[in-house]
Structure 1
């Protein structure tokens, strides 16, 4: 099975990395593909440039096994719609189950995504949950797709919905950017190599 983990990674931090490690182990993934957005349709334009976000992600992920940084959204023109990304991945991996990992907040907004119903044609959706983060339910649509055992995801290439509790660290990229802009110390929230990169390139000074 192949995991799909998208985001702006502006900047990448330990919350991202811990989740990537855990889902890789829990689902015995052959690989996790980290897919940085170029032009996210559901949020503000990233503060750091495309190339800088990619370089920070490469610095952070270089020690992780079975992790691939996938630049197909950076290489594609227009908005970074997940439906286009999943369609492209399905062409590359026609027989592999694809697992799209999203957090609770992203799942609660899933019905606002471009052609959201079709996401299930290409991948399973795995919602990473934590205590105190309720999910919004779409009744019959979710009911028809939810499975309760992780092993069931390997039996199908796409189409299922699964909820997986993980150790989600209460870290956000926006909070890190704000700390840096306020000249506060963000150490231990993100890898030292990424922090060194941010400081050497004077990123997020006015975030």
Structure 2
């Protein structure tokens, strides 16, 4: 049976923090792969600044050189708001020989009681909660917890830096920085 980590998010844009989380969880949990799953329209956030195809293209660039990373486009192909329960139900049916590990930040752990069909979702996936500055991982749900290097990098900060014409070098992989410049994203 394969063990696959799912790292969902808007990835607007993907940054070094996302890659560190995926890499650390992949190795610590002995996963076969980590699938980056961009949302089309996240249920808990406003819509993304970059369009879906740009966000997928940036993810494809950052995952291309790591054979353990893959881009999973189930949610962007579905269009509209996606809920984790619906997505994971579909993925389980499509990949019955796979155990899924859903990777979330400590901020999302606090919101688990509000997730759609959380009790059924807990039977479908193993949650892996990673630390995040300003949050603690306290939950009455069975969650594997992990410490990962804390990075004070966020997609919002990166977009703000681009708008202010500040450098984003080393905050995002070079391939993402080039893509943002070539496509004039976040200006």
TM-score computed with the length of structure 2 as normaliser: 0.93
Match of 1:77 among 73, 76, 79: 79
Q: Give the match for residue 202 of structure 1.
A: 184
CA–CA separation in structure 1 for the residues paired with 2:129 and 2:47: 24
Give the stretch that moved more between structures: 60-69 or 88-97.
Answer: 88-97
Is 1:50 paired with 2:49? Answer: no
CA–CA separation in structure 1 for the residues paired with 2:151 and 2:184: 26
Deviations 1:138-172 (A, max 9, x none): 4xxx2xx3xxxxxxxxxxxxxxx211111232210
Q: Give the match for residue 129 of structure 1.
A: 131
Counterparts in 2 of 1:33-112, with a 5 A limit?
33-112=35-114
Following superposition, the deviation at residue 136 of structure 1 comes to 4.0
- Partner SS, residue 40 of structure 1: coil
Q: For structure 1, which runs of at least 5 residues remain unmatched after alignment?
A: 146-160
Following superposition, the deviation at residue 15 of structure 1 comes to 0.2
- Asked whether the equivalents of residues 137 and 145 of structure 2 are also in contact (C-alpha less than 8 Å), the reply is no
- Asked whether the equivalents of residues 107 and 132 of structure 2 are also in contact (C-alpha less than 8 Å), the reply is no
Following superposition, the deviation at residue 92 of structure 1 comes to 2.1
- Partner SS, residue 12 of structure 1: coil
Q: Give the match for residue 12 of structure 2.
A: 10
- Asked whether the equivalents of residues 128 and 163 of structure 1 are also in contact (C-alpha less than 8 Å), the reply is yes
Q: Give the match for residue 161 of structure 2.
A: 179
- Partner SS, residue 3 of structure 1: strand
CA–CA separation in structure 2 for the residues paired with 1:89 and 1:4: 10
- Asked whether the equivalents of residues 19 and 168 of structure 1 are also in contact (C-alpha less than 8 Å), the reply is no
CA–CA separation in structure 2 for the residues paired with 1:136 and 1:42: 20
Question: May I ask how many residue pairs the two structures share in their alignment?
Answer: 185
Q: Give the match for residue 152 of structure 1.
A: none
- Partner SS, residue 10 of structure 1: coil
CA–CA separation in structure 1 for the residues paired with 2:133 and 2:12: 25
Structure number with larger C-alpha Rg = 1
- Partner SS, residue 90 of structure 2: helix
- Partner SS, residue 88 of structure 2: helix
The CA RMSD measured in Å over matched residues stands at: 1.5
- Asked whether the equivalents of residues 5 and 100 of structure 1 are also in contact (C-alpha less than 8 Å), the reply is yes
Q: For structure 2, which runs of at least 5 residues remain unmatched after alignment?
A: none
